[in-house]
Structure 1
Amino acid sequence: CGGFLRAEQGNLKFPTSGSSSYPTEISCGWVIIVNSTKVINITFSSFNLEKSTTCSFDWLQIHDGSGADAHMIGRFCGDKLPKNGTIISTRNYLYLWFRSDHSLVGEGFELTWNSTEP
């Protein structure tokens, strides 16, 4: 899982169709890349990860840049849409890092993105 998603708009669903839940003990990273003069607007249509108050078991971290060393927008878990469903970057990269532990899984997440003027 993971990879580089180079497109001005697109869809990311994890796990991909055909699976009702994500696997245990997995770590995946995706980098969304759009035109260098644009920023990224992502909208979640579904979000269901293992719930915990500290998001320390299964989580999705979103970073405002091309890797985990970039500013972290947030770490999300449970079934509430991150940031009420919409996140906008400040640059033309977003890094999404998903991790699951050894037990209890959820359905995963689905989002769409598009490039927009800053």
Structure 2
Amino acid sequence: MHNAIKKYAPILFLSTAIVSGLNYFAYQAIIKIAHAQTGTIPINLISEIITTVATHLIVLSVLPLALSAKNRTLTAYVALIILGGIYITYMTGINAAGPAITIVAFGYLAFYGYSKAKGIYSYYRTK
């Protein structure tokens, strides 16, 4: 059980932080207007916010959690970064998916170049 918590908790935490932060800013004006009109926040607005956050959290984290369950941890985090960028684009209209994919691609290329350079260095060092 402890290994499962260490495996899934960071993915759920990052997904929750992204979804909660964006939905907080998305509903902030609506909450203030409703609070100013009625003096309280209506129950139907609270239930709508909770339903939206839960739905978005499930959609954002299902693929990374499935990949993590199959012991593809690095792939799960890459998927979370890309899906997070797409989600930010969906919620705000600011293109964050392109930079997220670019960062992942450059990270992969840097790792590939480093491993090849290390192999070449080791090859010539043993000669």
Q: TM-score range by the shorter chain?
A: under 0.3
Structure whose residues are more often helix by fraction: 2
Larger RCO, structures 1/2 (Cα 8 Å, 6+ apart): 1
Structure whose residues are more often strand by fraction: 1
TM-score (norm 1): 0.22
